[in-house]
């Protein structure tokens, strides 16, 4: 078994223990059958995604395509297979969902690594005007066509006209559109005096970085697969129109996923490692008071919220400590918000809320960072503090022994 596979299995085992809520996954889950499902999805996934990447990266060498597949496949397939917890048996539908999500991962990764053509393609996909020579270049065109496969794949999954626009909104606009905006804001930050930047952009950064968390991109497309066999489930359009559900998603859930993601990617986002990406704004690396206030406000942790002072104190710790402390705090807040939901919401939106919980679990486990799942990343790069938070029973010596088998 490869190092990547061992790490993936280990993370999935942590995930299925539901470290956030304790009850997100079936208690009688069959690890062997789910891993079998994961493995059976992989060939179909590669068959679907490889031609799209060849189209979108026509100027790149074949080893770049292989490397990109290795980086986006585990996370994409694991997300879809894990949060459906073996409840969806149609491999084609799950693989198409994973493929659609993986294209957004690839686009996000490309923008993070300074691909201006991909940034322009994402902006154009989200109805932003692109002028000049770039707009008519072949490289821009092939990236845009690759991105349009998201809609094609999502269309093959969704059975109802009121679901597809919500799936596309979640992936194309909420994730990719906002990720493009974050790239632009990160560039502006580097070019502006810090204090002036935060005077002007603190609210924009807070809202955009929370809105692009990616939670709904996974939930919406997997939920649409469930609706194929359960047409009586509430539509995604109904869910997106529900004020209380969207308040919970856009405030508490998205903010928690953003905290977990930034906690994992804090070092990558400094821009020190060119192979992983350029500089990106990160709540732990740029904890400016104006950004923190805006971030907590948008997370609905208002001035009067009991844990607001504790949150500000946690962000003020050294980065190595604040990442764990803030993650723990958002774990507690998320648990409180879910526990406070009225029974009527649980009764009508059980599946949707369950998938949200599972995706939050996955976001928390992903706090170890994308580099951790890279095939060639040394296992010594992740920190035991996070593993202790994820799995209190973690035994480092045992894990190193198993990892090196």
Q: What CATH number did the domain enclosing 357 receive? A: 1.10.600.10
Q: Model confidence over 315-366: pLDDT tens digits?
A: 999 988 899 899 999 999 999 999 999 999 999 999 999 999 999 998 888 7
Tell me which residue range forms the domain holding 162: 3-403
> 248: closest CA among 324, 146, 340, 322?
340
- Res. 79 pLDDT band, cuts 50 70 90: confident
The more confident residue out of 21 and 402 is: 21
CA distance 182 to 190: 12
Residue 373 has pLDDT above 90, yes or no: no
Residue 193 has pLDDT above 60, yes or no: yes
Number of domains in the chain: 1
**Do the beta carbons of residue 94 and residue 54 sit within 8 Å?**
no
Distance between start and end Cα atoms, the chain: 8
pTM of the predicted protein model: 0.91
Residue 375 has pLDDT above 60, yes or no: no
- Res. 385 pLDDT band, cuts 50 70 90: low
Q: Model confidence over 9-66: pLDDT tens digits?
A: 777 778 888 889 999 998 876 667 777 888 889 899 999 999 999 888 876 667 778 8
């Amino acid at each position: 078994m490869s190092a990547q596979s061992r790490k993936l299995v280990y993370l999935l085992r942590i995930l299925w223990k539901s470290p956030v809520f304790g009850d997100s996954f079936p208690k009688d889950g069959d690890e062997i059958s789910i891993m079998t499902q994961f493995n059976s999805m992989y060939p179909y996934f590669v068959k679907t995604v490889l031609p799209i990447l060849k189209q979108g990266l026509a100027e790149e060498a074949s080893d770049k395509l292989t490397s990109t597949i290795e980086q986006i496949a585990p996370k994409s397939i694991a997300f879809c297979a894990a949060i459906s917890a073996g409840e969806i048996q149609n491999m084609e539908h799950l693989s198409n969902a994973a493929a659609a999500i993986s294209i957004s991962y690839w686009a996000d990764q490309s923008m993070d690594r300074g691909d201006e053509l991909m940034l322009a393609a994402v902006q154009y996909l989200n109805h932003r005007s692109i002028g000049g020579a770039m707009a008519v270049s072949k490289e821009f065109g092939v990236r845009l066509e690759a991105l349009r496969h998201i809609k094609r794949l999502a269309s093959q999954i969704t059975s109802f006209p009121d679901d597809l626009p919500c799936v596309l909104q979640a992936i194309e606009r909420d994730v990719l559109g906002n990720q493009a905006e974050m790239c632009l804001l990160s560039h502006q930050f580097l070019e502006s005096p810090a204090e002036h930047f935060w005077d002007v952009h603190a609210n924009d950064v807070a809202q955009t970085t929370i809105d692009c968390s990616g939670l709904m991109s996974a939930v919406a497309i997997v939920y649409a697969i469930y609706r194929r066999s359960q047409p009586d489930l509430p539509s995604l359009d109904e869910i997106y129109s529900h004020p209380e559900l969207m308040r919970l998603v856009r405030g508490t859930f998205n903010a928690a996923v953003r905290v977990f993601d930034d906690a994992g990617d804090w070092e990558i986002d400094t821009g020190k490692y060119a192979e992983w990406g350029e500089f990106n704004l990160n709540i732990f690396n740029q904890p400016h008071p104006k950004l923190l206030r805006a971030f907590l406000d948008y997370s609905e942790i208002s001035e009067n919220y009991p844990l607001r002072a504790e949150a500000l104190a946690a962000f003020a710790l050294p980065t190595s400590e604040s990442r764990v402390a803030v993650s723990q705090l958002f774990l507690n807040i998320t648990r409180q918000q879910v526990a406070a939901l009225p029974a009527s919401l649980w009764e009508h939106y059980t599946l949707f809320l369950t998938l949200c919980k599972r995706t939050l679990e996955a976001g928390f486990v992903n706090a170890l960072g994308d580099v951790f799942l890279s095939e060639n990343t040394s296992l010594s790069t992740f920190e035991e503090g996070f593993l202790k938070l994820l799995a209190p029973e973690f035994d480092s010596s045992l894990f190193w022994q198993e990892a090196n088998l």
